[in-house]
Amino acid sequence: MSALASHRKTRSRTLKTSPAVGFTTAALASVTLLSTQSANAAPTEPKPSVEEVQKKVDDLYRQAGTATQQFNKAKEATEEKRREVDELLDDAAKRTDKLNESRRALGNYAAAQYRTGAVTPTAALLLADSPEAYFDQTQLMSRMTDRQRSAITDYETQRAAAAEQRAEATKSLESLTRSQQALRTSKQDVQAKLGEARTLLSKLTAEEKARLAAIERKKEEEARRRAEAKAQEEADARAEAEAERRRQEQTQDPGTSTGTGTGTGTGTDTGTGSTYAAKAEKVLSFARSQIGKPYVWGASGPSSYDCSGLTQAAWKAAGVDLPRTTWDQVEVGERVATSDLLPGDLVFFYDDISHVGIYIGDGNMIHAPKPGANVREESIYYMPIYGSVRPA
């Protein structure tokens, strides 16, 4: 009995320790599971610095500028194709009217033959797939008067022309559809880039926004310093040119100074320069009157502009028609070096030529900068310069 009691006591102790073992096992399993989940979870991306955000936003705005030029190009192509299609459809309608007139003339001949009881090949002609082949029969052609043969020829001519016109209109409609699709794609691309930029900026804290503004001010200040240096260079060049002119006047003898030849040469140079200067004055007057109006991608005035829309409208005010996109505008006129810029010249930016401004002198320009900004004066050194042209 004592042995039995001892056995039971020992068993009782074993039963008491079982729950503890089960709990410990479950806890270990939970820890293992949590550790595995933590190891498998995607690492959290570090928040970008203000400098990284600024660089990314600038890049997105530049990409949006490129997409805007693609949109402008697609829009221009769409409008051109739409005009072409409208003209073709008008021509096709006129051709159809002429075809109907020819058909009526043939119908009148067929009716006349029927009334006189004659054989009615003309009636059969109207139902034939190939009237010309039908009338190739010499016997039938000999029965026809010159007027009838003329009517048949006219009918065939009008029918062939109408078919060709319809085929051309169909092809142009297909091209128009492709242009419209490119237009939609470019629009979506612009909106996506601008939306991404807005999202990045919206995640900044007030302190980060202040730091971003400070970075922008520093960038603007550096661009201003470079513009001031160029303004000084231009002033020095003008002063040197004026001094050289006076030296030449002083070294000339009285007879030469009043000579017709010298005066004519000076007048020719001045005339050439003044022609461009007169146009440039109109360009700058127009551009200055647009200062403060908002940048809107794809806009060409009068209440808002994108960069190439502003340059196109400004030069149009001077009587010069420029193409719509920066990529086409850079091909117009004469290329000029940055050191040789004159007011009115167009300055293009970035390797992809996605931005343009109007040079106003002293290293500055008027341009429509980017979404959220207004038309304003700014240093040409705010962005990397691609090149410049003199449009007229």
Catalytically active residues are 307, 355, 367
Beta bridge partners of 388: 336, 347
Q: Where are the alpha helices (H) located in 41-128, listed in sequence order?
A: 50-116, 121-127
CA-based torsion, 90, 95, 101, 107: positive or negative: negative
The residue whose two tokens read 């050194």 is 381
Q: How many CB atoms lie within 10 A of CB 87?
A: 12
Length of the chain: 392
**Is residue 235 classed exposed, middle or buried when 0-12, 13-18 and 19+ CB atoms within 10 A define those classes?**
exposed
Which residue matches tokens 């209109």?
A: 169
Task: Report the distance separating Cα 179 and Cα 77, nearest Å.
Answer: 6
- The token duo for 283 is 């360009």
DSSP class of residue 286 equals: H
d(CA 50, CA 203): 11
| Phi, psi for residue 95 in degrees, rounded to 5 | -65, -40
Distance in angstroms (rounded) separating the CA atoms of residues 108 and 105? 5
- Alpha helices per DSSP H over the chain: 2-40, 50-116, 121-127, 131-134, 138-143, 146-202, 206-251, 254-257, 260-289, 307-316, 326-329
The dihedrals phi and psi of 141, each to the nearest 5 degrees, come to: -65, -35
Cα 238–239–243 angle (5° rounding)?
120
226 Cβ partners below 8 Å, 6+ apart?
A: 363, 379, 381
- Alpha carbon distance 66, 91 (integer Å): 38
Cis bond upstream, residue 302 (ω within 30): yes
